Amino acid sequence: MSVSSIIFLLLFISASALFIRNIRRVRRNILLGKDEVRNDRKGERWKIMTLVALGQKKMFKRPLPAILHLFVYVGFVLINIEVLEMFIDGAFGTHRVLSFLNFEGFPLYTYMIGSFEIFAFLVTFGCAVFLIRRNITKVKRLVMKELDGWPKSDANIILISEILIMCSLFLMNAAELTTYQRANLLGSMLPVSQYLVPFLSGISDEGLHIIANACWWFHIFGVFAFLNYLVISKHFHIVLAFPNVFYANLNPKGKFTNLGSVTNEVKAMLDPTFTPPPANPDQPMRFGAKDVQDLSWKQLMDAYTCTECGRCTSACPANQTGKLLSPRKIMMDTRDRLEEVGKNIDKNGKFVDDGKALSGNYITPEELWACTSCNACVEECPVNIDPLGIIIDLRRYLVMEQSAAPTELNMMFTNVENNGAPWAFAQSDRLNWKNEF
C-alpha cells in the first residue's frame, strides 16, 4: 500500500469517526427534549418531505434566492459522485477510476466530468452572489443585529469554503487537461477548466502533476473538514432539513398543543371523583418551558435545523414594526442554550445546574409578549420550523409557574374567569345585542 493511500485512509477514518461522534452528540442533545409523537401519518410525511425538503417547494416563494440555492444544492449533491471516485482513488491508489466509462465513440466519463464542472461553476456563482448579498448589497434579513459576530462569520466561512473547494476542482482538471493536450490524449474539452489551460501552458509536466495532486488533496481535505464543520455550524440544515420536514407538524397551524398535565389538574378541580394518574418521577412536572429540556425533541431538532436565513423574521409583524421579537433569534437562542447544556453534560456526566435558563438568560419576556401568534414565521420557514410553539411554551412558563404575565393580561384572565369574557361585562348581558335590531 502506498504512503498516500495510508494517509488518505487515516484521514478518512478520523474524519468519519469525528463526524459520527459529533452526530451522536447532537442526537443526544435533541433527545434531552420531551416526548412528542411525530411518526404517525407516514404517507403524508413522505409526501411533504419530498415536496418541501427534496423539492424545495417553499424556497420558491422568493424566486431569486431559490434559484441560486437550487444551483448550490443540486451541484453539491451531484458533485458527490465525483467525490466518491476521489475516495476510491485515494483508498486504492488508482487515478480517475471511473474513466473506464469513456467508451469508444462515446466518452461518457468526460461528459460526466464536464457536467460536474458546469454544476461546480453554478455552485461557485451561487455562493459568490450569496456573499455579495450578505456583505455588499446587505439584504436586510441577512445583516440583522442577531447575526453580529459568529453567525455572520459562520455564513461567510461556509460560502468561501464552498467556493475554494469548487475552485480546486477546476484547477485540478485544468492541470490534467493541459498535460493531456500536450500528449494529445484528451480530445474533448472541459467546459470550465479549458479556459484555465492558457494560464498553465508555461508550466512543466512535472509542475502540472504537482498542481493536480495538490488540488486533489485540497479537495479531499476540504470535504472532510466541511463534513465536520457542518455539525457545529448553521450549515447542518443540509442534513437535518430532511428529518425535520418529515417530522413536521401536520395539524392546522392554529391548533396549539393541549397540556396533558393541565388537563388532569382541571379535571380534578371540576370533578372531585377524578383521580389523576401518578406523576412520572423522572420528569418533574413543569407547566410550559423554562429551559431547553422542557421543550420537545422536535422543537430542539428545529433549533439544530435552522440555517438562520431570516425569512421568518422578515415576515414577523412584531419585528417589522420595530419590536424586539425575532423568530430567528428564538431558534438561535434555543440552539445556543442547548449547546451550552450539552457541554455541561459532557463535562459533568450529567446536567449540573448552572443558574441559567433559556427563559430570561437568552429569551426575554419583552420578546415573548410581542408575538401576535399570527403564524407568519411558521408559514415562511422553508424547512417547516415552528418558532411559535417555543414562544407559547415559554409564555406558559411565565404565566403558570411565575405568574409573570403583563398586568393587562392578568386583568383579561380575571375577566374571563369571572365574566366569561375578556372584558368586564356581565355574562347576563351577553344577549343584549338582539334588542338592537
Partner 1 sequence: MEIQVKTYAEYLASGESPEILFWVGCAGSFDDRAKKITRAIVRILDHVGMKFAVLGTEESCTGDPAKRAGNEFLFQMQAMNNITVLNGYNVKKIVTGCPHCFNTLKNEYPALGGNYEVIHHTQLVQELIDAGKLKVQGGAFKGKKITYHDACYLGRANSVYEAPREAIKALDADLAEMKRSREKGFCCGAGGAQMFKEAEKGNKEVNVERTEEALELTPSVIATACPFCMTMMSDGVKHFNKESSVKVLDIAEIVVGGLKE
Cβ density class 203-220: b for 16+ within 10 Å, e for less:
eeeeebeebbeebbbbbb
Min dist. Cβ of residue 308 to partner 1 (A): 21
Provide the CB-side half-sphere exposure for 226 (13 A, CA). 22
Q: Which residues are CB-contacts of 403 (< 8 A; sequence separation ≥ 6)?
A: none
- Check binding of 375 to partner 1 (CB under 8 A): yes
Q: How many helices (H) and strands (E) does the chain have?
A: 17, 2
Q: Which is nearer to partner 1, 142 or 370 (CB)?
A: 370
Q: Which is nearer to partner 1, 339 or 379 (CB)?
A: 379
- Check binding of 141 to partner 1 (CB under 8 A): no
Using the 8-state DSSP alphabet, how is residue 247 labeled? T
Q: Which residues are CB-contacts of 401 (< 8 A; sequence separation ≥ 6)?
A: 286, 287, 288, 290
Task: Supply 133's cell numbers.
Answer: 448579498
Task: Supply 219's cell numbers.
Answer: 479537495
- Cα 420 to Cα 173, 243, 271, 414, 428, distances in angstroms: 75, 43, 20, 9, 10
- Check binding of 259 to partner 1 (CB under 8 A): yes
- Check binding of 184 to partner 1 (CB under 8 A): no
How many residues bind partner 1 (CB under 8 A)? The answer is 70
Return the residue of 324, 339, 340, 361 that touches partner 1, per CB under 8 A: 324
Return the residue of 27, 41, 253, 343 that touches partner 1, per CB under 8 A: 253
Q: What are residue 392's DSSP bridge partners?
A: none
Min dist. Cβ of residue 49 to partner 1 (A): 20
- Check binding of 145 to partner 1 (CB under 8 A): no
- Check binding of 374 to partner 1 (CB under 8 A): yes
- Cα 177 to Cα 99, 110, 170, 215, 317, distances in angstroms: 14, 11, 10, 14, 55
Min dist. Cβ of residue 436 to partner 1 (A): 7
Return the residue of 265, 336, 339, 340 that touches partner 1, per CB under 8 A: 265
| Residue carrying C-alpha cell 469525528 | 18
CB atoms within 10 A of CB 320: 11
Return the residue of 208, 331, 369, 382 that touches partner 1, per CB under 8 A: 369
Min dist. Cβ of residue 254 to partner 1 (A): 3
- Contact between 268 and 274 under an 8 Å Cβ cutoff? The reply is yes
Return the residue of 43, 63, 254, 349 that touches partner 1, per CB under 8 A: 254
Min dist. Cβ of residue 434 to partner 1 (A): 4
Residues forming the site for partner 1 (CB under 8 A): 61, 251-256, 258-259, 262-263, 265-267, 269-270, 287-288, 315, 317-318, 320-325, 366, 369-376, 378-379, 392, 394-400, 405-406, 408-409, 411-413, 416-417, 420-423, 425, 427-434, 436-437
